[in-house]
């Protein structure tokens, strides 16, 4: 596409954002098109820089708007009465399209008028986030045996983008980012270990960032086995191998082993060393090869 055509399309889409920020749907769709077509690249290096410098919003905020717009697109084709604000759609964005429709229809039956449906009502209808023991606390640490297996496959861990000082005593990543440093705003490269925050709205951003980071050579990711979600679908498109553990992982908290979480887990491998991953991780459960 010529520079002139890119500039024209970018101007048209940015006019939508400028005006509305009329509705979150228009803004989300415009940002999605700018991101997908990489219209920002002539003036900005990354989508993150574009969001920050052009609109003074974070990359994660940009993704929230995109996901909310996508949710509205799903609901538009399936329900008669739509959400009226972004807060109602935001908690739905991590669900599969079928679940989004099911939850919203249930809320309409209960409340009748969408004006009366709050963000907390939506979260309550979905249920608590998929986190350890459903506590909402993201600071849980991976057991040593899984970390050592990951290091056996990767050789060394160059980066853990969702960590803390305590967790890195076991992970021993060359570089790690804490919640205060916000790994989503940093550069990712090399060999990655990641146990991302499981809270609704966070996990998808970390997974999208992983597969968008061109300098990542290998990665092992520990998540819950929420195969019905859109973010888990990214693994089926991009991953090499998936290990489904035969028992639930007992995470660590304050140097103590916890009981099993309420949901099972999956350990994902991305890279060119799938055979070694299979050889090392088969001790934990069933290995599945992702067909492209």
Quick one: average pLDDT of 182-199?
Answer: 89
Answer yes or no: do 278 and 189 share one domain: yes
Answer yes or no: do 120 and 140 share one domain: no
Answer yes or no: do 162 and 232 share one domain: yes
Answer yes or no: do 121 and 147 share one domain: no
Q: State the pTM of this model.
A: 0.60
Answer yes or no: do 20 and 38 share one domain: yes
User: Taking the CB of residue 113, how many other CB atoms lie within 10 A of it?
Assistant: 9
Query: In 20-37, which positions are buried (b, 16+ CB within 10 angstroms) versus exposed (e)?
Result: eeebbbbbbbbbbbbbee
Last residue of a domain, one of 76, 103, 126: 126
What mean pLDDT is reported for the chain? 84
Task: State the total domains in the chain.
Answer: 2
User: Taking the CB of residue 292, how many other CB atoms lie within 10 A of it?
Assistant: 8
Quick one: average pLDDT of 126-143?
Answer: 52
The answer to whether residues 54 and 39 touch, using CB atoms and an 8 Å cutoff, is: no
The answer to whether residues 240 and 215 touch, using CB atoms and an 8 Å cutoff, is: no
Using one digit for the tens of pLDDT, what is the confidence trace for 164-174? 888 898 999 99
Last residue of a domain, one of 89, 106, 126: 126
Answer yes or no: do 22 and 62 share one domain: yes
At 182, list the tokens: 């916000």
Answer yes or no: do 228 and 280 share one domain: yes
Report the half-sphere exposure of 248 (CA within 13 A, side-chain side).
16
Quick one: average pLDDT of 109-127?
Answer: 87
The answer to whether residues 125 and 140 touch, using CB atoms and an 8 Å cutoff, is: no
The answer to whether residues 229 and 269 touch, using CB atoms and an 8 Å cutoff, is: no
Given a cut of 80, whether residue 14 has pLDDT beyond it is no
Percent of the chain whose predicted confidence (pLDDT) is above 70? 85
Given a cut of 60, whether residue 9 has pLDDT beyond it is yes
At 129, list the tokens: 């986030």
Answer yes or no: do 110 and 149 share one domain: no
Measured in degrees and rounded to the nearest 5, phi and psi for residue 27 equal: -65, -45
Percent of the chain whose predicted confidence (pLDDT) is above 90? 40
Last residue of a domain, one of 105, 126, 147: 126
Answer yes or no: do 8 and 33 share one domain: yes
Answer yes or no: do 181 and 284 share one domain: yes
First to last CA, the chain: 29
pLDDT at 199: 59
Question: What is the extent of the structural domain holding 36?
Answer: 3-126
31: left (phi over 0), alpha (psi -120 to 50) or beta: alpha
* Segments in the chain forming alpha helices (H): 3-19, 24-36, 47-55, 59-76, 86-89, 97-111, 119-126, 144-154, 168-171, 203-212, 230-238, 274-281
Answer yes or no: do 144 and 246 share one domain: yes
Answer yes or no: do 87 and 28 share one domain: yes
**Hey, which residues does 287 pair with through a beta bridge?**
243
Q: What is the CATH number of the domain that holds 169?
A: 3.40.50.150
């Amino acid at each position: 596409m010529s520079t002139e055509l890119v500039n024209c399309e970018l101007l048209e889409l940015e006019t939508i954002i400028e005006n509305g920020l009329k509705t979150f749907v228009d803004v989300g769709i415009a940002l999605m098109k700018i991101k997908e077509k990489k219209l920002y690249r002539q003036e900005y290096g990354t989508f993150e820089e574009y969001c920050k410098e052009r609109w003074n919003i974070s990359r994660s905020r940009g993704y929230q708007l995109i996901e909310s717009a996508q949710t509205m697109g799903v609901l538009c084709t399936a329900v008669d009465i739509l959400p009226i604000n972004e807060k109602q759609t935001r908690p739905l964005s991590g669900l599969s399209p079928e679940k989004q429709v099911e939850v919203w229809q249930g809320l309409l039956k209960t409340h009748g008028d969408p004006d009366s449906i709050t963000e907390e009502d939506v979260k309550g209808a979905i249920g608590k986030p998929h986190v350890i023991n459903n506590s909402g606390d993201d600071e849980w640490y991976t057991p040593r045996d899984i970390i050592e297996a990951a290091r056996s496959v990767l050789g060394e861990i160059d980066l853990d983008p969702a960590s803390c000082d305590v967790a890195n005593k076991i992970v021993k990543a060359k570089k790690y980012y804490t919640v205060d440093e916000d790994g989503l705003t940093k550069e990712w490269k090399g060999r990655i270990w990641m146990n991302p925050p499981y809270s609704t709205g966070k996990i998808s951003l970390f997974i999208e960032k992983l597969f968008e980071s061109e300098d990542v050579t290998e990665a092992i990711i520990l998540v819950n086995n929420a195969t019905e979600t859109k973010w888990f679908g990214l693994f089926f498109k991009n991953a090499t191998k998936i290990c489904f553990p035969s028992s639930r992982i007992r995470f660590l908290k304050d140097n103590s082993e916890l009981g099993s979480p309420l949901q099972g887990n999956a350990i994902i491998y991305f890279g060119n060393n799938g055979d070694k991953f299979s050889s090392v991780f088969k001790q934990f459960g069933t290995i599945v090869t992702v067909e492209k």
